[in-house]
Amino acid sequence: MSRSPLPVARLCAAAGVGLLFSGLVACSADPSESSSSAAQGYPVTVKDCGTDVTVSEALEHVLTVGTAAVEILDAAGASGHIVARTGEFGAPLPTTLTQPPAESLIVDPSDPTTENILTSGADAVYGYGLFNADPAKIRDSGITVLTVQGECGHDAETDAAPAVDLGTITADVRRVGTVFGTSATADQAADALDARVAAARRDSIGQSAAWVYYFSSEDPLSSYGGAGLPNSVLTTAGLSNAYADQADTYAQISTESLIQRQPQWIVLNYGGYGETEDEARAKFLAEPGVRALDAVRAGRIVMVPASSSNPSPSAVAGLEQVVADTGSQDSSR
Protein backbone atom coordinates (compact mmCIF):
# COMPACT_ATOMS: atom_id res chain seq x y z
CA MET A 1 0.00 0.00 0.00
CA SER A 2 1.29 3.45 -0.91
CA ARG A 3 2.37 5.80 1.84
CA SER A 4 1.74 9.48 1.18
CA PRO A 5 4.45 11.99 2.03
CA LEU A 6 3.95 13.60 5.44
CA PRO A 7 3.37 17.35 5.58
CA VAL A 8 6.17 19.32 7.21
CA ALA A 9 4.18 20.17 10.35
CA ARG A 10 3.43 16.49 10.95
CA LEU A 11 7.03 15.49 10.23
CA CYS A 12 8.23 17.81 12.96
CA ALA A 13 5.70 16.50 15.43
CA ALA A 14 6.47 12.87 14.59
CA ALA A 15 10.17 13.34 15.08
CA GLY A 16 9.74 15.35 18.26
CA VAL A 17 11.40 18.32 16.61
CA GLY A 18 11.11 21.85 17.89
CA LEU A 19 14.08 24.12 17.62
CA LEU A 20 16.97 21.86 16.67
CA PHE A 21 20.58 22.03 17.80
CA SER A 22 22.75 24.97 16.82
CA GLY A 23 23.51 24.84 13.12
CA LEU A 24 20.37 22.86 12.24
CA VAL A 25 17.26 24.12 10.52
CA ALA A 26 14.21 24.73 12.70
CA CYS A 27 10.92 23.23 11.52
CA SER A 28 8.52 25.95 10.46
CA ALA A 29 5.12 26.33 8.88
CA ASP A 30 6.78 27.73 5.77
CA PRO A 31 9.24 25.14 4.30
CA SER A 32 10.80 27.77 2.04
CA GLU A 33 11.80 29.74 5.12
CA SER A 34 13.89 26.89 6.55
CA SER A 35 15.32 26.02 3.15
CA SER A 36 16.52 29.55 2.47
CA SER A 37 18.04 29.92 5.93
CA ALA A 38 19.96 26.64 5.60
CA ALA A 39 21.03 27.04 1.99
CA GLN A 40 23.99 29.27 2.80
CA GLY A 41 27.18 27.57 1.69
CA TYR A 42 25.56 25.32 -0.92
CA PRO A 43 26.23 23.59 -3.21
CA VAL A 44 28.64 21.23 -1.45
CA THR A 45 30.37 18.23 -2.98
CA VAL A 46 31.38 15.20 -0.93
CA LYS A 47 32.87 11.82 -1.72
CA ASP A 48 30.49 8.88 -1.47
CA CYS A 49 32.24 5.52 -1.84
CA GLY A 50 34.76 7.23 -4.09
CA THR A 51 32.20 9.06 -6.23
CA ASP A 52 31.55 12.79 -6.08
CA VAL A 53 28.03 13.67 -4.93
CA THR A 54 26.96 17.30 -5.16
CA VAL A 55 24.24 18.55 -2.82
CA SER A 56 22.84 21.68 -4.43
CA GLU A 57 20.71 22.83 -1.51
CA ALA A 58 20.04 21.95 2.09
CA LEU A 59 18.59 18.47 2.56
CA GLU A 60 15.53 18.60 4.81
CA HIS A 61 14.02 15.10 4.94
CA VAL A 62 16.02 11.88 5.17
CA LEU A 63 15.06 8.22 4.90
CA THR A 64 17.60 6.08 6.76
CA VAL A 65 18.58 2.51 5.94
CA GLY A 66 19.95 0.75 9.02
CA THR A 67 20.77 1.89 12.53
CA ALA A 68 24.29 3.11 11.67
CA ALA A 69 22.79 5.88 9.53
CA VAL A 70 20.60 7.01 12.43
CA GLU A 71 23.59 7.04 14.79
CA ILE A 72 25.82 9.05 12.49
CA LEU A 73 23.09 11.59 11.75
CA ASP A 74 22.51 11.94 15.49
CA ALA A 75 26.22 12.45 16.20
CA ALA A 76 26.38 15.04 13.42
CA GLY A 77 23.44 16.96 14.89
CA ALA A 78 21.14 16.11 11.98
CA SER A 79 18.83 13.35 13.24
CA GLY A 80 15.95 15.82 13.39
CA HIS A 81 15.82 15.55 9.60
CA ILE A 82 14.86 11.85 9.68
CA VAL A 83 11.34 11.36 8.32
CA ALA A 84 11.43 7.60 7.64
CA ARG A 85 13.42 4.64 8.96
CA THR A 86 14.08 1.32 7.22
CA GLY A 87 16.52 -1.58 7.28
CA GLU A 88 16.83 -1.92 11.05
CA PHE A 89 15.45 -5.50 11.21
CA GLY A 90 14.12 -5.05 14.74
CA ALA A 91 17.46 -3.99 16.19
CA PRO A 92 17.13 -1.36 18.92
CA LEU A 93 18.76 2.03 18.66
CA PRO A 94 21.42 2.86 21.25
CA THR A 95 20.06 4.57 24.35
CA THR A 96 22.84 7.16 24.12
CA LEU A 97 21.40 9.05 21.13
CA THR A 98 21.05 12.79 21.69
CA GLN A 99 17.87 13.15 19.65
CA PRO A 100 16.43 9.68 18.90
CA PRO A 101 13.88 9.54 16.08
CA ALA A 102 10.38 8.28 16.81
CA GLU A 103 9.55 4.59 16.41
CA SER A 104 6.54 5.67 14.35
CA LEU A 105 8.94 6.69 11.56
CA ILE A 106 9.74 3.04 10.75
CA VAL A 107 8.13 2.46 7.34
CA ASP A 108 9.80 -0.90 6.67
CA PRO A 109 11.95 -2.92 9.11
CA SER A 110 13.83 -4.50 6.19
CA ASP A 111 15.38 -3.19 2.98
CA PRO A 112 13.27 -0.37 1.56
CA THR A 113 11.54 -0.67 -1.79
CA THR A 114 11.55 2.01 -4.46
CA GLU A 115 7.97 2.81 -3.46
CA ASN A 116 8.93 3.13 0.22
CA ILE A 117 11.48 5.76 -0.71
CA LEU A 118 9.51 7.67 -3.34
CA THR A 119 6.44 8.00 -1.10
CA SER A 120 8.30 8.81 2.13
CA GLY A 121 8.62 12.54 1.56
CA ALA A 122 12.42 12.20 1.73
CA ASP A 123 14.80 14.27 -0.35
CA ALA A 124 17.74 12.07 0.68
CA VAL A 125 18.46 8.41 1.44
CA TYR A 126 21.34 7.57 3.77
CA GLY A 127 22.31 4.06 4.81
CA TYR A 128 24.11 0.81 4.05
CA GLY A 129 22.95 0.51 0.43
CA LEU A 130 19.88 -0.24 -1.66
CA PHE A 131 19.15 -3.93 -2.26
CA ASN A 132 15.39 -3.86 -2.84
CA ALA A 133 15.10 -0.52 -4.65
CA ASP A 134 16.23 0.96 -7.95
CA PRO A 135 19.00 3.51 -7.20
CA ALA A 136 18.76 5.04 -10.70
CA LYS A 137 15.04 5.63 -10.32
CA ILE A 138 15.61 7.14 -6.88
CA ARG A 139 18.24 9.55 -8.18
CA ASP A 140 16.17 10.39 -11.28
CA SER A 141 13.38 11.50 -8.95
CA GLY A 142 15.72 14.12 -7.47
CA ILE A 143 16.47 12.25 -4.24
CA THR A 144 20.11 12.33 -3.08
CA VAL A 145 21.56 8.90 -2.28
CA LEU A 146 24.37 8.75 0.28
CA THR A 147 26.06 5.67 1.73
CA VAL A 148 27.41 5.13 5.23
CA GLN A 149 31.10 5.13 4.35
CA GLY A 150 31.90 2.04 6.40
CA GLU A 151 29.42 0.17 4.19
CA CYS A 152 31.00 0.95 0.82
CA GLY A 153 31.11 -2.37 -1.03
CA HIS A 154 28.07 -3.70 0.84
CA ASP A 155 25.81 -2.26 -1.86
CA ALA A 156 25.89 -4.26 -5.08
CA GLU A 157 26.29 -0.96 -6.96
CA THR A 158 29.70 -0.26 -5.48
CA ASP A 159 33.11 -1.81 -6.08
CA ALA A 160 35.04 -3.95 -3.62
CA ALA A 161 35.01 -2.51 -0.12
CA PRO A 162 37.92 -0.23 0.77
CA ALA A 163 39.71 -0.66 4.07
CA VAL A 164 37.47 0.36 6.98
CA ASP A 165 38.64 1.34 10.43
CA LEU A 166 37.41 3.39 13.35
CA GLY A 167 38.62 6.55 11.63
CA THR A 168 36.12 5.85 8.84
CA ILE A 169 33.31 6.50 11.34
CA THR A 170 34.53 9.86 12.55
CA ALA A 171 35.30 10.95 8.98
CA ASP A 172 31.70 10.10 8.06
CA VAL A 173 30.33 12.10 10.99
CA ARG A 174 32.28 15.11 9.73
CA ARG A 175 31.10 14.51 6.16
CA VAL A 176 27.46 14.38 7.23
CA GLY A 177 28.00 17.63 9.13
CA THR A 178 29.21 19.19 5.89
CA VAL A 179 26.15 17.97 3.97
CA PHE A 180 23.65 19.22 6.56
CA GLY A 181 25.44 22.39 7.58
CA THR A 182 26.04 21.13 11.12
CA SER A 183 29.83 20.95 11.05
CA ALA A 184 30.28 22.58 14.46
CA THR A 185 28.27 19.82 16.14
CA ALA A 186 29.70 17.07 13.92
CA ASP A 187 33.34 18.07 14.41
CA GLN A 188 32.91 18.23 18.18
CA ALA A 189 31.34 14.75 18.23
CA ALA A 190 34.03 13.34 15.93
CA ASP A 191 36.81 14.81 18.08
CA ALA A 192 35.28 13.20 21.18
CA LEU A 193 35.04 9.81 19.44
CA ASP A 194 38.65 10.04 18.22
CA ALA A 195 39.77 10.79 21.79
CA ARG A 196 37.90 7.73 23.13
CA VAL A 197 39.51 5.49 20.51
CA ALA A 198 42.96 6.83 21.39
CA ALA A 199 42.33 6.20 25.10
CA ALA A 200 41.11 2.63 24.51
CA ARG A 201 43.78 1.62 21.98
CA ARG A 202 45.97 -1.22 23.23
CA ASP A 203 49.14 -2.87 21.98
CA SER A 204 48.87 -6.53 21.00
CA ILE A 205 48.27 -8.81 23.96
CA GLY A 206 49.13 -11.92 21.92
CA GLN A 207 45.61 -13.39 21.99
CA SER A 208 43.05 -14.07 19.30
CA ALA A 209 39.29 -13.58 19.18
CA ALA A 210 36.51 -14.70 16.89
CA TRP A 211 33.70 -12.16 16.58
CA VAL A 212 30.57 -14.18 15.78
CA TYR A 213 26.93 -13.42 15.15
CA TYR A 214 23.64 -14.61 13.66
CA PHE A 215 22.07 -12.49 10.96
CA SER A 216 18.62 -13.84 11.91
CA SER A 217 17.06 -16.54 14.03
CA GLU A 218 17.14 -18.85 11.00
CA ASP A 219 20.64 -18.14 9.72
CA PRO A 220 23.74 -20.19 10.58
CA LEU A 221 26.63 -19.00 12.68
CA SER A 222 28.80 -16.38 10.99
CA SER A 223 31.97 -14.51 11.83
CA TYR A 224 33.53 -11.24 10.74
CA GLY A 225 36.52 -11.72 8.47
CA GLY A 226 39.59 -9.64 7.76
CA ALA A 227 37.73 -6.83 6.01
CA GLY A 228 35.31 -4.46 7.65
CA LEU A 229 35.04 -2.67 10.93
CA PRO A 230 34.95 -5.54 13.48
CA ASN A 231 38.44 -6.59 12.38
CA SER A 232 39.63 -3.05 13.08
CA VAL A 233 37.96 -3.04 16.50
CA LEU A 234 39.68 -6.30 17.45
CA THR A 235 43.12 -5.16 16.33
CA THR A 236 42.68 -1.78 18.04
CA ALA A 237 41.83 -3.72 21.21
CA GLY A 238 45.15 -5.58 20.92
CA LEU A 239 43.61 -8.84 19.72
CA SER A 240 44.17 -10.76 16.51
CA ASN A 241 41.12 -11.77 14.49
CA ALA A 242 40.89 -15.58 14.31
CA TYR A 243 39.25 -15.18 10.89
CA ALA A 244 41.50 -12.43 9.54
CA ASP A 245 42.45 -14.74 6.67
CA GLN A 246 38.88 -14.57 5.37
CA ALA A 247 38.79 -11.82 2.73
CA ASP A 248 35.07 -11.18 3.14
CA THR A 249 33.64 -9.02 5.88
CA TYR A 250 30.85 -11.52 6.51
CA ALA A 251 31.72 -15.24 6.51
CA GLN A 252 29.58 -18.24 7.39
CA ILE A 253 31.55 -20.57 9.64
CA SER A 254 31.13 -23.84 11.49
CA THR A 255 31.84 -24.84 15.06
CA GLU A 256 34.42 -27.23 13.62
CA SER A 257 36.41 -24.32 12.22
CA LEU A 258 36.14 -22.50 15.56
CA ILE A 259 37.49 -25.58 17.36
CA GLN A 260 40.36 -25.82 14.88
CA ARG A 261 41.28 -22.17 15.37
CA GLN A 262 40.70 -22.15 19.15
CA PRO A 263 40.48 -18.38 19.69
CA GLN A 264 41.19 -17.32 23.27
CA TRP A 265 38.08 -15.13 23.17
CA ILE A 266 34.62 -15.21 21.63
CA VAL A 267 32.96 -11.86 20.95
CA LEU A 268 29.25 -12.49 20.38
CA ASN A 269 26.71 -10.04 19.00
CA TYR A 270 23.19 -9.80 20.37
CA GLY A 271 20.17 -7.76 19.36
CA GLY A 272 20.80 -7.79 15.62
CA TYR A 273 17.30 -9.03 14.90
CA GLY A 274 15.73 -8.16 18.25
CA GLU A 275 17.04 -11.09 20.32
CA THR A 276 18.12 -10.53 23.93
CA GLU A 277 21.62 -11.05 25.27
CA ASP A 278 20.51 -14.24 27.05
CA GLU A 279 18.84 -15.56 23.90
CA ALA A 280 21.95 -14.91 21.80
CA ARG A 281 24.19 -16.63 24.33
CA ALA A 282 21.86 -19.65 24.61
CA LYS A 283 21.68 -19.99 20.82
CA PHE A 284 25.45 -19.97 20.53
CA LEU A 285 25.98 -22.42 23.39
CA ALA A 286 23.45 -24.79 21.78
CA GLU A 287 25.65 -25.14 18.68
CA PRO A 288 26.87 -28.76 18.40
CA GLY A 289 30.42 -29.08 19.72
CA VAL A 290 30.80 -25.44 20.79
CA ARG A 291 31.49 -26.39 24.40
CA ALA A 292 34.74 -27.98 23.23
CA LEU A 293 36.10 -24.49 22.77
CA ASP A 294 38.62 -23.49 25.45
CA ALA A 295 37.13 -19.97 25.45
CA VAL A 296 33.66 -21.33 26.19
CA ARG A 297 34.86 -23.66 28.94
CA ALA A 298 36.72 -20.77 30.56
CA GLY A 299 33.78 -18.38 30.19
CA ARG A 300 35.72 -16.04 27.92
CA ILE A 301 32.70 -14.79 25.97
CA VAL A 302 32.27 -11.05 25.50
CA MET A 303 28.67 -10.09 24.76
CA VAL A 304 28.31 -6.90 22.72
CA PRO A 305 25.28 -5.18 21.16
CA ALA A 306 25.05 -5.85 17.42
CA SER A 307 25.47 -2.13 16.80
CA SER A 308 29.07 -2.51 18.05
CA SER A 309 29.92 -4.13 14.73
CA ASN A 310 28.38 -1.31 12.70
CA PRO A 311 30.45 1.55 11.23
CA SER A 312 28.85 3.95 13.70
CA PRO A 313 29.66 5.54 17.07
CA SER A 314 28.49 2.35 18.82
CA ALA A 315 31.64 0.65 17.55
CA VAL A 316 33.68 2.91 19.84
CA ALA A 317 31.62 1.76 22.82
CA GLY A 318 32.15 -1.81 21.58
CA LEU A 319 35.91 -1.26 21.48
CA GLU A 320 35.86 0.03 25.06
CA GLN A 321 33.83 -2.98 26.19
CA VAL A 322 36.08 -5.51 24.44
CA VAL A 323 39.17 -3.92 25.98
CA ALA A 324 37.60 -3.87 29.45
CA ASP A 325 36.25 -7.44 29.31
CA THR A 326 39.31 -9.09 27.79
CA GLY A 327 41.49 -7.43 30.40
CA SER A 328 39.34 -8.71 33.27
CA GLN A 329 40.14 -12.43 32.99
CA ASP A 330 43.26 -14.54 32.91
CA SER A 331 43.19 -16.03 29.44
CA SER A 332 45.83 -18.61 30.34
CA ARG A 333 43.26 -20.62 32.30
Map residue 184 onto helix, strand or coil: helix
Whether 293 and 266 have beta carbons less than 8 Å apart is answered as yes
Whether 210 and 263 have beta carbons less than 8 Å apart is answered as yes
The predicted-structure confidence for 96-148, as pLDDT tens digits, reads as follows 999 999 999 999 999 999 999 999 999 999 999 999 999 999 999 999 999 99
DSSP-assigned beta bridge partners for residue 144: 124
Residue whose C-alpha is closest to residue 282's, from 293, 295, 270: 270
pLDDT interval class at 248 (50, 70, 90): confident
Domains and CATH numbers, the chain: 8-197 (3.40.50.1980), 203-326 (3.40.50.1980)
Q: State which amino acid sits at residue 56.
A: S
**Minimum mean pLDDT among 30-39, 47-56, 253-262, 269-278: which range?**
30-39
List Cβ<8 Å contacts ≥24 apart for 17-22.
17/80, 20/77, 20/80, 20/99, 21/77, 21/80, 21/98, 21/99, 21/182, 21/185, 22/77, 22/184, 22/185
The predicted-structure confidence for 183-223, as pLDDT tens digits, reads as follows 999 999 999 999 999 999 999 999 999 999 999 999 999 99
pLDDT at 155: 52
Instruction: Say yes or no to pLDDT of 2 above 70.
Output: no
Map residue 152 onto helix, strand or coil: coil
Instruction: Say yes or no to pLDDT of 284 above 90.
Output: yes
Q: Containing H/E element for 82?
A: strand 82-86
